[in-house]
Copies of this chain bind each other. A is one copy, B any other.
């Protein structure tokens, strides 16, 4: 098994059979010790964060599998904090696709002239480039097509998939009386060119609130996974 990439919150290994192994770490993104799902730096290390993130990811990916929504997920080993996934090529150098139900975070920082904090947004989808040096700039459908990152047809598919997956997560959270404010995903092209959800779906990917109070990722994972 070959170590091929060290990410901010996980490491990636290539398996002999052509699949990949994601090793979840206890590092979470943020700044100065405060968690922020939109941050580009590791802000803090929380013991058990890797396994808790993986458990929630496993849960969501299995729900998506039942709904026949295409993802890279094959299986997960909670004890080892690893997930086995199909190979998938990211679009360009990687995109983040965000689905928003409430105006918070970077949406509010950009469009605060027109939006109130916490205002409902109708499963609004936007794409940002993964580019730490340029602070992950937002990019339009037209620019993605012009720069050969994603065709117009792929954009439509990506947007539809994003809404379906985000709505699934939102419904799962609602079962525990938790409100999803926003969530970010990564996608890739699988072997046959099909668009797959990749990466993870854990507390670190989303902002969740209960009765108007923000829930930290580890706390969210605890609530979501208690029987």
Do B146 and A129 touch (CB < 8 A)?
Answer: no
Do B143 and A141 touch (CB < 8 A)?
Answer: no
Taking CB atoms, residues of chain B closer than 8 Å to A111 are 129, 134, 137, 139, 143, 147
Taking CB atoms, residues of chain B closer than 8 Å to A137 are 110-111, 138
- Cβ of A154 < 8 Å from any Cβ of B? no
The count of chain A contact residues (Cβ–Cβ below 8 Å) is 28
Taking CB atoms, residues of chain B closer than 8 Å to A109 are 134
- The A interface, classified by DSSP as helix, strand, loop or mixed, is mixed
Which of the 9-residue segments A27-35, A41-49, A117-125, A200-208 touches chain B?
A117-125
Do A143 and B126 touch (CB < 8 A)?
Answer: yes
Most buried by B among A93, A111, A129: A111
| B112, B138, B140: the one within 8 Å of A134 (CB) | B112
Do B110 and A147 touch (CB < 8 A)?
Answer: no
CA distance A122 to B148 in the complex (A): 12
Do A147 and B114 touch (CB < 8 A)?
Answer: yes
CA distance A141 to B139 in the complex (A): 11
Given A93-B113, A129-B113; A146-B134 close (CB under 8 Å) = no
One digit per residue, 1 when the CB lies within 8 angstroms of any chain B CB and 0 when it does not, for chain A 143-154 equals 100110100000
The 10 closest A-B pairs by CB, nearest first: A110-B137, A114-B147, A113-B131, A140-B140, A124-B146, A93-B113, A110-B134, A138-B138, A122-B146, A92-B114
